[in-house]
Amino acid sequence: MNSNLSNQDRGYKIVKNKSKTSSGHFFGGTTWTLPESKICKESMHQILTLNVSEAALMKLENRIAEIPLFSCLNCSLFWDNQHFKVDFINKSATILQQDQEEIEQQDEEDRIVNPLPLISVALREASSRDNQTDDDTIDRLFSELGTDYIGRAFGKPIIAQDALDLTCISCGGEMQFIAQITGDNDMESIFNEDVDFFFGETMLYFSLCPCCDVLKVEPQAI
């Protein structure tokens, strides 16, 4: 563990949960009522759900027990920023704003199954060497993301090509970085599961305004 880091600075790799005990974090599933994609006309993919009830992970209000990370992955909507209002009490969400104007759908053979299969995941704390920004570290992180683990949670975003815009569209305050998920995944390598979860050479960055309950999904090319 990186004892010199505060709880909010610690980043975690999202890996398969190999314990028989549930971690409370999971990939896929349909435990939240998510908005319908205006292009695909079906509920958005519930990609990852993080249990944040542990004080060691994030300092959030007690009413926020878990955070869903979601987007439609079968159409062009995830190509640009998306903003959602999250109802943590009723475990649902609504669309506030989607910036993408192009309307395209994945070809049938390239579509990602929806809903995604429910897979228990765990958070493994990243080492201090995973937070360095030298070229060798960046190259290693690029090669590991999508083969050793599906993304990172909490701490600070890594390998972002541009600085994230963390301004809440509702209150103008600063949002909290929650997680990043890579679209270039080898699920058999990560989870030992035969699941197609490749949605392009894209990283989705998720941020939350805990004051307004606004979730932002920001894509960047990788």
| Per-residue pLDDT tens digits for 57-114 | 666 767 889 999 999 999 999 999 999 999 999 999 999 999 999 999 999 999 999 9
Contact 168, 212 (CB under 8 A): yes
Would you say residue 169 has pLDDT above 60? yes
Identify which has the larger pLDDT, 56 or 76: 76
Question: Given a cut of 50, is residue 135 above it in pLDDT?
Answer: yes
Residue 3 — very low, low, confident or very high, per pLDDT cuts 50/70/90?
Answer: very low
Is 1 strand, coil or helix?
coil
Query: Tokens in use for 50?
Result: 């993080």
- Report the SS3 class of residue 137: helix
Q: What is the pLDDT of residue 189?
A: 84
Task: Tell me the C-alpha distance between 139 and 156, whole Å.
Answer: 18
Segment 212-216 shows an average pLDDT of 97
pLDDT score, position 53: 80
Place of tokens 């050479």: 201
The percent of residues in the chain predicted with pLDDT above 70, rounded, is 93
Residue with the larger pLDDT of the pair 2 and 36: 36
- The dihedral of CA 209, 146, 144, 51: what is its sign? positive
d(CA 189, CA 149): 9
For position 61, what pLDDT does the model report?
Answer: 67
Q: What is the pLDDT of residue 102?
A: 92
> Quick one: pLDDT at residue 5?
47
Q: Is-contact 62 26, C-beta < 8 A? A: no
Interval 190-211: pLDDT, tens = 888 888 899 999 999 999 999 9
What token pair was written down for 176? 């909290």
Q: Helix, strand, or coil here: 34? A: coil
Total Cβ atoms within 10 A of residue 217: 22
pLDDT, mean over the chain: 90
